[in-house]
A and B are shown apart, each in its own frame.
Chain A
């Protein structure tokens, strides 16, 4: 057993998983309340990454920051969360709310339109070049934990830690506050919640704000740990986050967290071990194939996901 490799893959998987979990949470929350697949969510992450990059540049850049490193990171994440929260609210108000009573497929097309629009707006305003966070200039890659087989860069710890903090905060919000109770009630039965005096529209707006803020934070974290961002990066994270939400049980918050972790680990380990499993027949190019095959089998066996409840149709 190559412990070095296994430990490393675990670290990679958990890093990726944290990001996927944040994206999946946004998907799950919106689906739970509106039964809507928000296909523009990945692009919200991308906008968050650009906001973070903008703040970084405004405060001197990675080479010469004008504030302490930790403060810089906090500011970037907060700015991205605020900006993306507002963006999410705007998307809901103008692209989804008019379609509440429309056939299910109409908001999907609207979401695709929003996605095209956001992606190409960023392309128009900032160009096609990859932008770099240059995190290595802020905190060199060799700064971190080096203990036995464990080689973890400090920034990875920041990503995992930040994601954990946000997930715990969200969990507390959903289970301990009145807003959380309102969110759960609206997700369970929108009409009944309205009849109980809950302002459904306000709850939906707040859900979108929180979900998009999480995606924005994920965008900054991605930029920090992987270094490069461009207008097209949202697509991949959106797809993986969406997959994670489904695997965890779409509509379920703990499901999104575990789903994200699961997909992140599956991603890392499928790349790491595909050659061994297929005895050299398939290279890392096919890691995505293995991942999706696993997912299809999983969906056939347990379509409601890990934490989801089987859908019971009432006649």
Chain B
């Protein structure tokens, strides 16, 4: 009994200590950050642990690389604060509040997952904190009516990728019999639905299948694929899953080839004997203008494989840092000024074209490229 009391006393003291420490640290009210232009922090929000950890880790890696490069080139002292959302919206909300209350954070790079922006968009808008995402593609984040006034993204949204895929599949590949697979998450389901609608409108027969985001075996789905299906459109964020699907289609002697969406784009992991993948520009892997940057990144990260969202987050970081530098040109800046500066961004992208934003926060003029993959070799088409 006495030990129980001692345990209780320790527990109470410990919790008091933890709470006091936390309270003592941030007891100033959150206000507008002023004056300290020499070192500010970019808050990254995305999944760093859990089954989707590879998404956030790749983006964080490219962001850190970009910040390091920018600091070296222009003598600034930007920092990155990682915020793990674990792909869960309540966690995203908590992390969002933490960042919003932190005076040193002047821009949010994120949230990686679309639904994270839905929960935090209003919060950041109230705090005038700008959000530049490198991977949130849900259409409703910017249209209709710009629900989150401080949200920007450097990647085109689903309403661009869907029609691009539809056009190629039904126009160039002339597929009449298609299977569309989604991976039951908020990236793939709207995309898959959009592609299905578009293909059916063009008279193709579309069968819908669905797998879980962490599934690694598609053999039973493949058994469902009829022998006259020519294309299987797979909306996934796991490039190696698209690779496995492609192998299993071949294993069961099916004619169909895999068409992956931009989440499947990863030359080191999606290397089917024959397939297609769509990705938005700028595309670093094969563009000669980006070769130097890719070499530097490989040295920095010791050859860590990457897909399409890492470089996009690099761009997002660049946008934010340029805007902060611009707003600080007169020696003083606050969050609202930075948000405005982001809106007026006009900087060269990684491979030459300029990045500008529309009034609703979408990036202007970024197209989707389509690559044809043959024996693991990527060649641009369409």
* Interface, chain A (partner B; CB < 8 A): 5, 8-9, 11-13, 15-16, 120, 123, 127-130, 132, 136, 141-142, 144, 146, 151, 153, 222, 226-228, 230-233, 235-236, 267-269, 271-272, 275, 283-285, 288
Contact = CB atoms under 8 A, between A and B. Distances in A.
Given A151-B253, A228-B243, A285-B184, A12 B223 contact: yes
Given A130-B269, A132-B243, A5 B50 contact: no
A129 B243 contact: no
A151 B252 contact: yes
Interface string B234-267: 0000111101100110111100000000000000
Contacts of B253: 146, 151
B49 A120 contact: yes
B304 interface: yes
A12 B220 contact: yes
Contacts of A271: 220-221, 224
Contact of B250 (A9, A120, A132, A142): A142
A227 B50 contact: no
A233 B214 contact: yes
A8 B252 contact: yes
A146 B252 CA distance: 9
A18 B250 CA distance: 22
Contacts of A233: 214, 216
Nearest first, the 9 closest Cβ-Cβ pairs linking A and B are A128-B53, A285-B210, A271-B220, A128-B54, A12-B219, A228-B240, A8-B223, A232-B51, A226-B216
A163 to B, nearest CB: 15
Contacts of A13: 220
Which residue, A9, A130, A227, A283, has most C-beta atoms of chain B within 10 A? A130
Contacts of B56: 128
A236 B48 CA distance: 20
Nearest to A127: B57
A285 B42 CA distance: 38
B332 interface: no
Interface string B202-227: 00000011111011110111111000
Contact of B50 (A12, A144, A232, A288): A232
B344 to A, nearest CB: 35
Interface residues of B, number: 40
B90 interface: no
Interface in B45-63: 48-51, 53-54, 56-58
Given A283-B208, A285-B184, A285-B210, A228 B244 contact: yes
A246 B292 CA distance: 56
Nearest to B223: A8
Which residue, B53, B224, B251, has most C-beta atoms of chain A within 10 A? B251
Nearest to A270: B220
Contact of B223 (A120, A128, A272): A272
B331 interface: no
B305 interface: yes
A13 B219 CA distance: 9
A268 B57 contact: no
Which residue, A8, A11, A146, A233, has most C-beta atoms of chain B within 10 A? A8
Nearest to A276: B224
B313 to A, nearest CB: 15
B240 A8 contact: no
A284 B54 contact: no
Interface string B327-356: 000000000000000000000000000000
A267 B212 CA distance: 13
A272 B209 CA distance: 10
9 contacts: A12-B217, A12-B223, A128-B48, A226-B244, A228-B216, A232-B51, A236-B215, A269-B220, A288-B212
B58 to A, nearest CB: 8
Contact of B224 (A136, A267, A284): A284
B241 A272 contact: no
Contacts of A227: 216, 240, 243-244, 247
